[in-house]
Structure 1
């Protein structure tokens, strides 16, 4: 990371309040169990409902605690996306612009609940992403991509390559990719074809709404030092 400018770490909404869910759910479940043990008679439907809610809270809290504490880190020259299975890095020089992906059809349009990133050079990005995180993002972001293609395929006639990513990909530079990286590259190619963006940052990995974060990314592109210092002062 660059030493001339401090780093800015962003904590996602998805990872917040995990401990609180665990504590509240655990205490609630213990109280319900104690009340049921000390009180004669069968457990009531209300107690069953409350116990189920507490178990659900514990499960949600556990899932939240498994997420990285910070989802994104900005430095002077890098945007780093943190995932529980790894991370990817994007050089500022390879960042073209960001926006909200939308699909238009006639007078209708659909905005995805995500921020889109357009790259200058897909090759540069593919050489540093690990197959493990590429495969996980293919699965986790498929619902967003399906929203896009469903808008284009209302009659059910979709190109097969939109539905199942091929395991071979030849980059503009001539570099051949195979396996998960190739599948991820084909997804980015189709995404750009349909929305104009290569990468997606879902709303649940952001600390502000998608419109604000998209504007923040473009501000970082233009003046990273000023953007990072301004955000740090507000924290």
Structure 2
């Protein structure tokens, strides 16, 4: 877990964004070693060497994409939760957070959970008006798999409304405010998430610095006592140095 304290805020680094340099370095070494073996002997390249070289290329690609992500993915201060993305950020004021939890459903003897933290929002308009269309478009794509899982959990018989699978470009919020374009599509996605899981917004596990249960618990404690939570995070940072 990596954190950075900036006066009154704490920045958290997602575990999925770490080790980019290591991936690229290991991949490059694997390719160089294979090339040396091939150049220094007369026999043709073997299948094992082709596999190692291919794995090295994949490692470099993974490392490259990791390096393109923001160094810190989540920022918390006394008043706001901020999610950082390479295409922008969204901000959720503490007074607009109702609660956080893990979306789940009971199907027979099994309890199914989404691999994400669900967030209930008090004022949808306040959130949508602060969201850039560019980020909304990217999140619609990136969270598609989570949404499909939520739909599958909600519709046990598979008879979900077909319009759930394609977000409409017109949306009317609970307060009556009308949206169009990408913000409307994201508003409809939030409404569908709400119906399927009870939560409006999702933070997938890949953007978090800890498991989903601990992060949901962190947000709920932050809602009630932000100064205490920030102090605990700062102390954790000092102990990790």
Distance 1:162 1:14 in 2: 29
Contact 1:12 1:71 survives alignment (8 Å): yes
Contact 1:103 1:148 survives alignment (8 Å): no
Residue 87 of structure 1 aligns to a residue whose secondary structure is strand
Which of 214, 217, 220 is residue 219 of structure 2 equivalent to? 217
Give 5+ residue unaligned stretches, structure 2.
Answer: 1-5
- 1:77-88 maps to which residues of 2 (within 5 A)? 77-88=79-90
1:232 corresponds in structure 2 to: 234
TM-score by length of 2: 0.92
1:76 corresponds in structure 2 to: 78
Offset of residue 105 of structure 1: 4.1
Offset of residue 106 of structure 1: 5.0
Residue 116 of structure 1 aligns to a residue whose secondary structure is strand
Root-mean-square deviation (CA, aligned residues, Å) is 1.4
Which of 180, 184, 187 is residue 186 of structure 2 equivalent to? 184
Contact 1:103 1:151 survives alignment (8 Å): yes
Contact 1:7 1:74 survives alignment (8 Å): yes
- 1:57-68 maps to which residues of 2 (within 5 A)? 57-68=59-70
Contact 1:19 1:61 survives alignment (8 Å): yes
Contact 2:154 2:197 survives alignment (8 Å): no
Q: Deviations over 1:9-62 (max 9, x none)?
A: 000011100011011111221121112111111001111111111111101100
Residue 175 of structure 2 aligns to a residue whose secondary structure is coil
Residue 190 of structure 1 aligns to a residue whose secondary structure is helix
- Farther off after superposition, 156-165 or 184-193: 156-165
Distance 1:159 1:193 in 2: 12
Contact 1:67 1:84 survives alignment (8 Å): yes
Offset of residue 171 of structure 1: 1.4
Which of 132, 135, 148 is residue 133 of structure 1 equivalent to? 135
How many residues align? The count is 232
Distance 2:154 2:224 in 1: 34
Contact 1:7 1:75 survives alignment (8 Å): yes
Residues 1:199 and 1:98: Cα distance change in structure 2 (over 3 Å): same
Distance 1:223 1:151 in 2: 33
- Farther off after superposition, 52-61 or 154-163: 154-163
Residue 197 of structure 1 aligns to a residue whose secondary structure is coil
Contact 1:5 1:75 survives alignment (8 Å): no
Contact 1:134 1:184 survives alignment (8 Å): yes
- 1:191-206 maps to which residues of 2 (within 5 A)? 191-206=193-208
- 1:8-23 maps to which residues of 2 (within 5 A)? 8-23=10-25
